[in-house]
Structures are given as C-alpha cells and as structure tokens.
Structure 1
Amino acid sequence: MKRYILFFIALHFSFPGSAQHQAKQWIFGQGLGMDFTTPQVSFFNVPYIPNEPNHRDYNQSSVYCDEKGEILLYFLNGKYYDKNNNIISGGEVYEYKFSPNTLLFGENKTSFFINFSNNKNVIFHYYVYGEPENISTKNHSIRLNKITLNNSTIISIDSIDTYNNSNPVSFINRANSGINLTPISSKGNIFFMIDAPGTNKAVIIVKIDSTGFQEILNHNIIRQNNTSLFPEQLFFFHPLTETFFILGKKYDSNGIHHTFLERFKHQNNFNFSINPTNRLFFPLKPGINNQNTQAFIKYCITLQGRYIYMFGSWNNQLFIERADLFAKDSLAFYNSHVQIPLPQPLQLISSGTTQYWLDSQVGPDGNIYFMLAKRNQISLTNQTPNNPENKFLCRIINPEDSDINNVQIEMNFHTFPDWSLFASFPGLSTNQLMPPPFEVLSSCSDSVHLDLNYKNIIDSVWWDFGDPVGLGTANNSSVVSPVIKYPNYGKYYVSVQLWFDGDTLRTLGDTVLVEPVPHVEFPFHDTLICIGESVTVDASQGFEASYLWSTGSTDSVLEITETGLYWVQVSTACGTAYDTVQVRVIRAPEEAVHDTSVCFFGPVLFDVSADSATYLWSTGSTGPTFAPRQIGNYWVEVQNICGGYYKEFRVELENCEKTLYIPNAFTPNGDGVNDCFQVSAENVADYLIQIFNRWGTMVYSSTDPKECWDGQYQGKPVQEGVYLYLIRYTDRDGNPQTPKRGEIVLYR
C-alpha cells in the first residue's frame, strides 16, 4: 500500500518592535473567537456569513490589533469587519472561494494585515480570492488593499494591486497544494516566497510595498540537483538568529526523499548565504522506502522560538514530535527529535474517514493550539471538505519547557458547535505572534520591573536601561528579571543582549515609559498669616494624579485662611504621598506699656507678649517681659509679620509701703465730728472689711477702703457698744497679707 507524504504548514516568527502588535484576540472558523487578554483564555462568537452551502467555506481570516492586543478590525470569509462586528462599507469580496483539495496538501494562510511604517492610520491587507474551475485546477489571485483609519475608525478600503502568477503549476494555481503567503520582514523589505517550477530558481520572491506586488527573480536561491524547496509548506524567518528556514526534500538513489530545513542568512538586497552543509535533516521512521513514507502534516514553533513541533502521520498513526531549532548542526538537530505521547492513539484512516492535523498556532499564553479534523470519502466526492465533528480544539501545554516530561497534550480542550472549527486559525504576520522583548511588570520609577520574554532560549543576558548618566553603574545588569530605580520618570530605550551557548543571539530593544511616583514635601510645615490674609499650599505634581485635602478639596492647590492642621494625599497608580502643614492666624502687636511708678523697694513687670513676635527693650533684653529696677526713660520695640510698634515710657519711684490706719472709736451722732468709721489704706489691693456685733452678726462689709460705716445696720442706727472688725487684703502686686482683727467702740 502506497502512503503519500502530506505537508500542511503553519510556522511563524517575528522580530519584536515591528509596527504591528502581538494579537491577543483571534477570530476564525465559522465566527469563533479566542481572547488571550483574560487571565485564562476565553471564547466568544462573532457574526458569520457563509459564501457556499453545506459548510464548504474555508473561512480564512486575519486580525489587526491595537497596542493591547485587542481587535481593531478583522477579515473573515471574504468580509471586513470593524471591532464592533459590523461589516465595513465596501469591505466584501466577490466570489471568495478556494479549491476543495487545498487543505490536504499544505498550508492555508491566505490573508494578512501588514504595515510599511509606524503610521497607525494607514495599514495594508492582502488576501487570496477567486473561483475554482474544477477539482484539479485553481484560478486564484492575490489582492492588496489599503485601509485608512482615523482614531481606529475605518474611513476607506482602496484596492492597490492584484497579483496572479501566470505559471499554472505554481502553488497559487496548482490544485494539490496549499497556499502559504506568510509575510516576512527582513532588511527593510516585506515579502513572501512561492515555488518556481520550470525555472532554475528554487523560489520566486514576491516583494510587497505600498504600491503593490513585485516579483524578484534576481536572487541566488537556485534549484539544486535532486533537491526541491517547498515554501508553500514551510517558510519562516527566525528573527533572533536572523535565519531563514524553507522546507526541502532531497532524493537519494533509491528514490527515498529526505526532508530537511534549508537554513540560510539574508545578506543584502535579495542575496542569501545558501550552504547545503547548514541543512537540518529530519529523522526517518524505521522501514522507510520509496513506497512507505512518513508525512509531517503540520509544523509550529514555540512562542520564544526554541522548539519546532511537527504534527505527522506514520503507519496509519498520527503523532507529534519536537526538535530543537537552536541545535548547532544537523546531527544535533536530528538527535533532538523526541516524540510527545498522545493521550490516546489516533488513526489516520479509520472506517472510510480520514483524520488529520488541520491547523496549529502558538498562542500569546505560550501554549500551542491545534485542530484535529475529520473528512470522509463522501465529502471528498461532493467536494465538501468539512465534517460536523470539526469542533474540538486541542492544545499543547508547556511546549517551551526543556523537560519533555512537563509537556502535556490536552485533547478536546474546548468544544465549539458542529462544523464550526474549520479550516484554520487567523493568518498572523510574524510580528503578530511573537511577544515584545520583555514585559513591564511595574513601571513606577522607584521600582521598574522588567521580565524577559525569552528566558527559555538563552544562557545569559546583558541589559542596558538607557540612562547611563542618571543610573551610573546600575545602567547595566545581567539579571533576567531586573528591578531598576530610575532617578526621573519619562521614556527610556531599554535594550537587552541575548546570549546562548557563548554567542550573542540578538540585541532586542523597546521603549519603556517610566511612570512618576508621587512625592509631596511642602516648603514649610508651620506658617503664620495675618487676620484677613491667606496662604496657598501647592501639591501639584506636574503629571496626572488625584488629590485629597483634609478639607475635602480635590484640587492640587489649597487656599487657607483659618488656623488649623491641614494635610493632603496625592495618589497615582504608583502609590500615595502625604504631607501636613500647620497654619496659625495671628494679630499685629498692640501697645502694652505706659508711664508708671515703681515702688522703691519692689519692681513692676511690663508684659508686651504678642503672637510670634520679636522684642527688643532699651536695656537690650529680648524677652516679652521687663521689670525696671530704677527710675528713668525706657523704650520697647515689638514686631511680628503683621506689624508692630515702638513705644517710649518713663518709670518713677514711689513709696509702696503697705499701711493701714484703723480708728478705735467713732461717734455717729450727727454733729459732724467723727460721725463715720473709715480705714485709711495705702498700697493695698483686694481689700475687704467686715464688722460684727457681739452676737456675731455682720452689720457692715465693704471692698472699698474709701468708704466709711455710719453706724447703721439695715437702715437703722445700731446700739452703742463694742464691735469687732476683720480686714483681709493683698499688696499691690497681689500677694496676700496677714488679716487684721480688732475692736471699735461706738458712742452716741
């Protein structure tokens, strides 16, 4: 029984920093969607419009995403849609059909979004279209469209050019061939390769620019004896090693073909360093002969580009193998092949049904997703390649792990509706698959945390953080996941050298936006203002931040007119800063000195205290109080921020002896002589006199030493006799003195 070699390829790689962004949302099949922006991959649906009956559409698709990886527009089954799933005006392709045998003979990635500059408002898209004449021939063309946007809104779709290779056996027109138009960006050019049957060239290079397609024939990829190259089955560019790979087959004298990867560099223009000794050969299964061959049906590389996964068939069994693309030579590559155990055996043909690898693609989460399709003989006869069982999504978990025991295959990871998982994942340009050089886990200037996305393919790294002046020796690091403390926020170009096996793989770079950390430090924390004035406290950061004051204000500045303790909180995504200020409202000093007399045996105290004032007395004293010790002329100057005064005054001496003269008798008989009892008091204060009769009744009291008692109680004259007095008082400085007690005699 003769077994055919079937190739069905999807292998993509890219160079980080290209104009497009990693696509984290995919649309494919009969309106199916996968979202990698969520913590775990999630699924959604979009509108789907078939072009042919009986689920015959190949549902080719491509997506264009923004910086976050979210879809801005997409192409599905011959129609352009915006991010809201609305068909764009003028965005429907007439007669969007393919040959029914295409899927069995190679790759089918036929539509791609590309950029020729960093202009976000102009993008380009190309796709294959055309109606097949019959099962054995194709009549396909490639169209290039220019799409103009304005702030993510599609303004127009304009046709730029159409390409149709005139050779009927080119894979674009050959029925038993897939269509692989994966764009490659190298040396400032974007191009894809097609086979070149009937010529001395191994391939035709088709260059794409903003004006259209251009065939490049003056290159040095020449056809060699007993060797063929098949770019429609496998063609990719590894940007980290700057190496091209094309699937090739070399036929020996026994008619057995040996599959290999042609490996070469891009030198300049369209000249390449082709050397047969650089080929990487795949191992043959036991018992291979010209009638019994193995088939690798599908290829996919891991997200970081270290390993290539091969989905194949042998002896009516499906299998998956892995090999190391970083192998130094063909022998090391050969020896690195290892088969990944499947959860259960899978037969290629069983009960008239063919089961085969339909498509595979690495996701932004690092897992490889693949479709396992079924097709029966009836569907082949009726030219219906689809099957209701085409609904199971599978995946390879941890495909980049160096320990093969950690690699797991999960069959039927997710189930879609019948018929819907057909026929391939979206066509993604190489730079839409690879991640950027590194992830910015934290962008705050005090702790910028970078995490390399290519940890599994390197031995060591050397970082340059883009600020040799500000960072000094800390501008470089060999840590895979470094944390940097930048002195200033802003944009920095960060580069990293990747090293493997003693050689530099590549230096990658990207711009990092370092976010500011809020910082508040008022120029003062205790300040004074005068009555009727205000002070403005400014917490502005010079960048976007939120503010909250103790008053409830959310402005960046606060005007204060009252005494109090005020605080502010300034917050950003990088943290919260806090500071306080004490404000006191004060008056201008008021005059508090005047001419006065001083007891010759004791001082008087002048107190001119005022809010936050300075003092200067004529004696040189700088305190708020002053006690002169001698007579003379003095002055004082008192100042604060609200004003002040200068005052001259004189101090005289006087007799300050405390004396009390208390009569011992009086005659209130109205004769005008000694009619009143009065105490004579000098230099006393807080004076109180109380007079009692012999039964203890208080008949008189007074606090004024100038008053006298006329001998009456409650308006009536009291009897003659002896009365007692009690006098309490202080000196003029307020010091309590010993109370005076005695008797007085009242005569009439």
Structure 2
Amino acid sequence: MDLTAIENSKTLILSNPAVQWNITFCPQNIGALGSMRIGKDGKLYMTNGQPQVCTGTSGVGLALHVINQPDLPGLSCSPNLNAIYNFQNGMSETYGRTNLPREIVLPPKNRIDTITSPLMRKNVCYHENDTLKVADGASCIEWSNGSPDNIITVTQSGIYWVKYFKDCVLYIDSFDVHFATMPNIEAVQYGCPGYIELKAGAINGAPFGLSLYNSFGGKIYEKDNGIYHSIPNLDAGIYTLNISSLGDCFTTMEVELKAYPIPVITVIPPIAQLLIGEEITLSAYGAMNYIWTPAGSLNTRTSNEVIAKPTETTDYTVVGTNDYGCRDTAYVKVSVDYNKNIRIPNAFTPNGDRINDLFSLPGGNWNILRFEVYNRYGQMVYQYSDNKAGWDGRYMDKDCDAGIYYYN
C-alpha cells in the first residue's frame, strides 16, 4: 500500500490508543473509537474506547481524548490522550489529565448513541396554542427555538424538534404541529323573518365541513371542505352546527338566529270603484321604500303615494321595506265601471257668447265611431268626422233655425 499521499498530507490517523495497557486487569474487549463531538470551545472530544471501569491498578479506564486544535494538520492539532478522566473509571491523576467530577459511562450494549425518532404529527384543534413536552428523565434539553425547558408553548403550525440525553443516549424528537383554526362564525346572527341567512367561514379562510341542524334535530344542510358556507331562508331560533377540519378535528356549537322587525303596510283606500276614465290617489304607509305593481296605469311606481287611472279592474300590489331591508306587502283593488251611457245636454245656445255655444259629447275614455245631428225634416246638418269640436248650430255656413233637432 502506498502511504506516500497520507504521509505528505501530514494527516493525523486516529486509532484506539492503549496507554499503560494491562491485559491482566483489563481484558482485551476494546470497542471502536468513541463518537466524536465538537465542544462549544471548538475542541474535538472522543472516548478512548476502553471499558467503563478498569478494576485493579495501572490499567486504562474509560476517558476522553481531546484534540485542542482540530483545524490544524498533523500533530500541530495538539492531541491530548486520556485528557479527561474520573477516578471511578479506574484512572488516576497524571500530568495533563483533568478529573471530571462525574463518572463517565457508556451506553448499554447494542445501543446506538443517537436515536432520531420518527416525525410525530400533532393536530391542535380549535385552540390558539398548545404545548410540546420532552420525554421524562431527559437532560441537556435543547428545543428548536433554543429553549432548555421540559415544555414549550407553540402557537403556529410548523416543524419543531428537541435534542436531549437520556440513559447516555442522544435523542432527537421532531413534531409536525398543525393548528386547525376555528372558522369565523358569529354566535348570534340577524335577518328578516323567514329569510335569515346563516353565514360560516371566510372567503380567505381554511376549508372545513359543516352540518346544520334545527331545534328539532333535523339536518337541513351538510357540506364538506368549504371555505365559506351560506344557508339562506331560515327562521329565527337556535341551530346546532357540527364543524370538522383536516386532521380529524371536530367540534359543535350553537348559533342563535334573531329576526329584525318587519314593517306593516296599509293602503288608503283599501278598495275603490271608478267610472271609466276617472283616476284615484292611492297612499301607502308603514315603510321607508315602496314599489307598486302593475305600473302601467300609475303615474309612478316608487312613491308612497301614486295616482291610478286604470282602464279595467286592477289589483294593485305595493311592497314596502324598512331600514333593515325587511318587507311587507299590501293590496288594493280598484274596480272600473264600464257603463258608457253618455249624458248629453238637451239644449245649447250658439249665439257667440262662448257660453254653451257648441253641442258636443262630454269627454271620456271612449272612442266616438259616429255622431250625427238631423233637423226635423231628416236632413243631416252635422257629422262628427267632419267637425270633431262639436256642432255650432250652423249648416253650410248659415245659422240654422231654432227648434228641435235629433242626433244619433
């Protein structure tokens, strides 16, 4: 084997050194070189691989080698063999050795000196914080947040770890903590009677499952993994919510739905009758805003007071809403009298004084198909289609004689 490269590198080869080896007192069962550790002082520490206790004299018991300058090559790293000992391990004080006030012990046989536990998952259901605890009997504890305590409090999801010694073995435990936050659900919610909307969750929240039950125990809603749940058209009362989240989290809560006051709408008059062509004012009271239907025969549809001029019997509906948006409905029936008997005057005086100068039909909501006036000889002296204003008592630009005339 060519060792030139190793020699030229001036590398220190570590072995199991046996200083003052005494087979009589310490049987030859030397193990491998102990695990190496870098101390906080930057020095390298390792066990010498000897039995934990060497009975007798002049033997070498369990001790620690120290490399004072591990970053330097060769012997310049300043190795110090068996530099740390303890008299209970069968070692005696010698120049350059330091007596450790505690016994140096080895882990049990067939045990590794570092155990990394599998990742432990922990779900925190609907609480703002939780605690993580190190195993009983642990020492030299160091958490991922730097805490040396047996118990730490966590408030956020994430991976947490803890290092500690127990029975001369270094353990590293890791925790995967997941916080399931309680959905945003108000315990008391309001709405209009029969139209209350129960809301649970938030648009940017975490998904959760929701089942909703009424006061009689009947299920009225169920959905898995929604970030926002909305159940409309509910009555006032107490409702039970079953809430579930990822990680087998489950809880139950009650929500009270309360109803806003509703307006009470009245219409004056509540019923009316008109002759064809007449109009009437209808007034509504009890709300803030109004909508009337049908609107075709109304002068407006959004006022509390409207003028109606129907051409046929009509059932009007007015919906009023209050400040809460709750509404009530009222109705009014306007009947129309279709009696078209026209009352026509039986005399007129066409003398030019602008008083009763014309013989005409009274105005109304009807169509005149034919209106003619005849003298006593049966001669037609006026026809509506030629002069729609009415008969002025003249025929062919001449005044007609006073007397009896007929019309149809």
TM-score under structure 2 normalisation?
0.31
Larger radius of gyration: 2
Which has the bigger relative contact order, CA under 8 A and spacing at least 6?
1
TM-score under structure 1 normalisation?
0.19
